[in-house]
């Protein structure tokens, strides 16, 4: 690594002690930036890289709320507004017990480059709370969301910061958050949140966007080597929003998805995952994947273990960060996997990516492969600004086109720096240079 980058990274680690996820995200980007700084040393001047690693604003606040039994609880809320050089801060809200400042900063830092890659005018940010909506009643979730927004509303707006959903924040939570924002501001500012319901300003394809976009990106990877999804065995981790719609689009493109998982187990269905059954369990009944065999008796549910034990051509980790380690990577390589693409944010550990690189497995980082969600959020912002509503097919075509453009940017940047098929390097370079050039153009702010 370039000496200036090493010094900058050491300072990031020192100033952000005890934040391993954030350190991991910054290190991964810095390893790619070395080749840029060697060719264009000006990028290391004016503390540009140091400024990029420091959020423009970090907001931490108390979220008190009352459960159905009258008990008062206190959670912690976060919003990290990382970079607005390309547009208003844009990034999801995550409600999960694991949420802390390190995770929010890693997600926000990644979001800068992800949003840059879309080619759309949106900056990077992220937020959430260490609240767990699982097992809570609708009224408890409502009260929490109202309390959360009572603080957050003063820091967001359609020209300032536009949150969306993430883990634990779906259409229900976005509705409650938007209602409270409207109450507090006395405005119907549709563009302040994305992921809204279709009947009140939401976008077609938003629910499907991250999973669809992932499948489109992989389809481009295959096409670059004169291949396609036809006949490919695909394994997907997770069974939430991203996983379900990645499965749907992969099946539409000709792939055979043979396994998926949740936090307790994974299911193997050699005939292909039955999407109707999966959606009924997860989206309607909010049940466990262990119920899958009740309707598909030829499938197998394995408690514990790893979904990555299932042999496949394409692996799509869509659950959570650092879920696929080097041991799982070695199993996938031995099983014949040729492509791994991140549907979740940073689900593959650095050691696992090293295993894939050594074995010449094509790897697509989340900042590129799962950018479909934020891209469609930006399309929702466009529709809100113009008081318009687009049809599903038109929005899906826009999404496919954006993902193709992202792939081209990653491929072209990797080729330019003599690293063909290194999509992680290409994504970091393409995302960084656009942000860096804008920072230089707008001065030291």
Rounded Cα distance, 356 and 337, in Å: 9
Distance CA(333)–CA(82), nearest Å, equals: 36
DSSP for 233-276 reads EEEEE--SHHHHHHHHHHHHTT-EEEEEE-SSEEEE-TT---HH
| 16: helix, strand or coil | coil
Helices 392-416 and 101-117 cross at an angle (nearest 10°) of 90
DSSP label of 44: G
What lies within 8 Å, CB to CB, of 154 at 6+ separation is: none
Q: How far apart are CA 381 and CA 234, in angstroms?
A: 33
Per DSSP, the residues of 276-325 read: HHHHIIIIIS---GGGGGGT-TTSEEEESS-GGGS--SEEEE-S-TT-B-
| Number of continuous H segments (helices) and E segments (strands) in the chain | 15, 12
Report how far Cα 250 is from the mean position of its chain's Cα atoms. 18
Per the residue annotation, which of 90, 105, 114, 126 is the catalytic one? 126
CA dist 245 and 282 (Å) reads 12
CA distance 252 to 173: 30
Q: What is the DSSP string of 89-113?
A: EEEEEEE-TT--HHHHHHHHHHHHH
Inter-residue contact 44 to 5 (CB < 8 Å): yes
Where in 148-264 does DSSP place strands (E)? 161-164, 233-237, 256-261
The two beta strands, 339-341 and 362-364, are parallel
As a residue count, the chain comes to 445
**Residue whose token pair is 């689900």:** 347
Annotated catalytic residue 249? no
- Active-site residues: which are they? 126
């Amino acid at each position: 690594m370039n000496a200036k980058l090493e010094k900058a990274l050491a300072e990031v680690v020192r100033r952000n002690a005890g934040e391993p996820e954030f350190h991991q995200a910054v290190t991964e980007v810095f390893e790619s930036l070395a080749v840029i700084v060697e060719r264009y040393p000006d990028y290391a001047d004016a503390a540009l890289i140091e400024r990029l690693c420091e959020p423009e604003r970090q907001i931490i606040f108390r979220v008190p709320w009352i459960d159905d039994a009258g008990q008062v609880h206190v959670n912690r809320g976060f919003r990290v507004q990382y970079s607005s050089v390309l547009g208003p801060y844009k990034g999801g809200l995550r409600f999960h017990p694991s949420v802390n400042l390190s995770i929010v900063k890693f997600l926000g830092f990644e979001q800068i480059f992800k949003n840059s890659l879309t080619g759309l005018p949106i900056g990077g940010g992220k937020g959430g709370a260490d609240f767990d909506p699982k097992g809570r009643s609708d009224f408890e979730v409502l009260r929490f969301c109202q309390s959360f927004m009572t603080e957050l509303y003063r820091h967001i707006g359609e020209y300032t910061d536009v949150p969306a959903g993430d883990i634990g924040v779906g259409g229900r939570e976005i509705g409650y958050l938007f209602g409270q924002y409207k109450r507090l501001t006395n405005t119907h500012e549709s563009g302040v949140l994305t992921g809204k319901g279709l009947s009140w300003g939401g976008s077609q394809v938003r629910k499907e966007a991250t999973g669809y976009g992932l499948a489109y990106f992989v389809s481009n990877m295959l096409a670059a080597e004169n291949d396609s999804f036809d006949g490919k065995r695909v394994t997907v981790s997770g069974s939430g929003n991203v996983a379900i719609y990645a499965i749907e689009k992969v099946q539409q493109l000709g792939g055979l998805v043979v396994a998926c998982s949740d936090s307790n187990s994974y299911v193997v269905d050699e005939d292909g995952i039955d999407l109707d059954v999966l959606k009924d369990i997860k989206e309607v009944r909010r049940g466990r994947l262990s119920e899958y065999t009740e309707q598909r008796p030829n499938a197998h549910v394995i408690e514990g273990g790893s979904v990555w034990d299932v042999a496949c051509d394409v692996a799509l980790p869509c659950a959570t960060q650092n879920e696929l380690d080097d041991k799982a990577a070695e199993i996938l390589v031995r099983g014949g996997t040729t492509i791994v693409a991140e549907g979740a944010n940073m689900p593959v550990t650095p050691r696992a990516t090293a295993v894939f690189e050594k074995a010449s497995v094509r790897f697509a980082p989340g900042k590129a492969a799962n950018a479909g969600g934020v891209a469609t959020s930006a399309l929702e912002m466009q529709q809100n600004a113009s008081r318009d509503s687009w049809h599903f097919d038109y929005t899906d075509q826009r999404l496919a086109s954006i993902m193709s453009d992202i792939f081209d940017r990653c491929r072209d940047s990797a080729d330019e720096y003599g690293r063909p098929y290194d999509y992680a390097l290409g994504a970091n370079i393409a995302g960084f240079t656009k942000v860096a050039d804008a920072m230089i153009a707008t001065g030291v702010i």
